[in-house]
Amino acid sequence: MAIPHCPLRRALLLLAMGVVSALVACHDPHKKYALTPLVEERGSGGEVAAPFAEQLVRYLRGVPRAQGNEFILQVRYAPGGFAPLMDSIGDIEALLVIMRDFPALRIAIEGHTDSEGDPEKNLKLSQWRADWVRHFLLERGIAEERVQAEGFGDSRPIADNSTPEGQAKNRRLVVRLLNFATQSTALPDGENRRGSFD
């Protein structure tokens, strides 16, 4: 294809080509969670875990789970940093898509740290990390009243803080569903069980 000599036509053609190539290269955000097949990953402790988005969507569709309505975001931080490393925000991006797909869903983002360092600084750091996720969602169109953020510092450990493995488990961001209850009855014709929003 020849590029026109007229600067205005050339600019319009290049712009149109750029838009088309951008649309072709754009990935489908709904592929952040695909319900089939359920991919399982081995955790550091040998436990089998499905990826965050699949766990959350299956729960929203009525599949019960032992951990109930709390889901851990798999994100990484620089030591002492409040913003996640950009190559580790896949779960946060998936949460954004899920929040868009389930517009009545309300959540709380809970930040937690290990017990290393000053407890007051840990409390602030956990709040900043939870706030970062909240702002990420709000800046992308999620309504403010749908997302809460709270930092707990080292006050709610889930593992032993005296070991590096335990400390790693305690440093976490949790998504807790605020208004969703699963129903244990199956729908006719083999449809997935569904939950309801309170």
pLDDT 10s digits, 79-132: 888 899 999 999 999 999 999 999 999 999 999 999 998 999 999 999 999 999
Q: For residue 79, is it left (φ>0), alpha (ψ between -120 and 50) or beta?
A: beta
What pLDDT is attached to residue 184? Answer: 37
pTM for the model: 0.69
Q: What is the DSSP letter of 144?
A: G
Q: How far apart are CA 160 and CA 185, in angstroms?
A: 38
What pLDDT is attached to residue 47? Answer: 44
Q: How far apart are CA 43 and CA 57, in angstroms?
A: 20
DSSP for 101-116, written as a single string = HSTT--EEEEEE--SS
**Helix H segments across 26-163?**
52-60, 90-101, 119-139
pLDDT lower than 70: segments of the chain:
1-50, 181-198
Q: How far apart are CA 92 and CA 155, in angstroms?
A: 24
